[in-house]
């Protein structure tokens, strides 16, 4: 099997629950290189969410269709990024110092901060998508999903390129993905993360990209101040925040 294709399948297996060919194997080297294909996985996730939403809208009210699309993306990813977002909110919300923040984030249980934050995040994304449909119709809604998922995953990828991974133990699930990306790998991730945005015409897409970028920079600065770098949960939190920021940007340009 082609080496790059094998690395992509390793990314698909790690960042989603979609099936991959058995012959891909479980190479540590493949997993270490998988981050550059995270935005491409986002293209697939976004396309699935858009397809389910548009299909469901043929028989259901748009509100239920949007919920069906969101549920599809959660099933496809196993709520991978949402879980990271919840853990990050718990850690930063409940920890007073670096060590305590990292300790809380490592706990697999979700606390009050995390549960409330995930509920509000899902509610905010639902309402943003509903407003996008009201302003631009099904086509704009579908394209927002196809663009928002890879763009937000590219936002997470930039943290792997720019920041230091702060966990010293080898038990962390994302430890294999913490090798700093090369400029060429970052460029490849940018290609997959930004190209779908070209499907959205006009100034709205640039405002969406701008807000997602601003949120990513602010999150990165916060992570560095609090813990000196990033963890896997920080990547999930960044993806969730950047995705919502992109949708809000589309609405700001359309209002």
Residue 24 · residue 6 · CB < 8 Å: yes
Q: What is the pLDDT of residue 171?
A: 53
pLDDT above 80 for 172: no
223-248 pLDDT tens trace: 999 999 999 999 999 999 999 999 99
DSSP 202-223: SHHHHHHHHHHHHHHHHHHHHH
Q: Which residue has the higher pLDDT, 173 or 121?
A: 121
225: enclosing H helix or E strand: helix 203-227
Q: Between 23 and 236, whose confidence is greater? A: 236
Q: What would the pLDDT profile of 131-149 be if each residue is shown by its tens digit?
A: 999 999 999 999 999 999 9
Torsion of CA 144, 150, 155, 156, to 10 degrees: 130
Enter the pTM of the model.
0.94
Q: Write down the mean pLDDT value for the chain.
A: 92
Q: In the predicted model, is pLDDT for residue 126 greater than 80?
A: yes
Instruction: Provide the pLDDT for residue 74.
Output: 98
pLDDT band at 30 (very low <50, low <70, confident <90, very high): confident
């Amino acid at each position: 099997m082609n080496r790059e294709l094998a690395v992509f399948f390793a990314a698909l297996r790690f960042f989603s629950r979609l099936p991959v060919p058995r012959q891909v194997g479980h190479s540590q080297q493949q997993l270490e290189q998988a981050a550059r294909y995270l935005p491409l996985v986002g293209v697939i996730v976004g396309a699935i969410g858009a397809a389910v939403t548009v299909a469901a809208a043929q028989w259901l009210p748009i509100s239920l269709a949007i919920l069906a699309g969101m549920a599809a993306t959660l099933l496809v990813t196993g709520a991978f990024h949402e879980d990271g977002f919840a853990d990050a909110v718990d850690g930063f919300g409940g920890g007073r110092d670096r060590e305590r923040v990292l300790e809380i984030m490592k706990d697999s249980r979700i606390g009050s901060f995390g549960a409330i934050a995930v509920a509000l995040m899902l509610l905010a994304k639902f309402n943003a998508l509903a407003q996008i449909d009201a302003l631009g119709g099904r086509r704009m809604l579908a394209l927002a999903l196809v663009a928002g998922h890879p763009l937000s995953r590219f936002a997470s990828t930039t943290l792997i390129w720019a920041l230091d991974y702060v966990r010293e133990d080898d038990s962390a699930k994302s430890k294999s993905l913490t090798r700093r990306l090369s400029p060429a790998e970052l460029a490849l991730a940018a290609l997959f993360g930004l190209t779908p945005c070209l499907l959205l015409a006009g100034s709205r897409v640039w405002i969406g990209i701008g807000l997602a970028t601003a949120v990513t920079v602010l999150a990165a600065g916060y992570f560095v101040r609090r813990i000196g770098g990033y963890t896997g949960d920080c990547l999930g939190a960044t993806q969730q925040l950047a995705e919502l920021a992109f949708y809000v940007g589309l609405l700001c340009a359309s209002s």
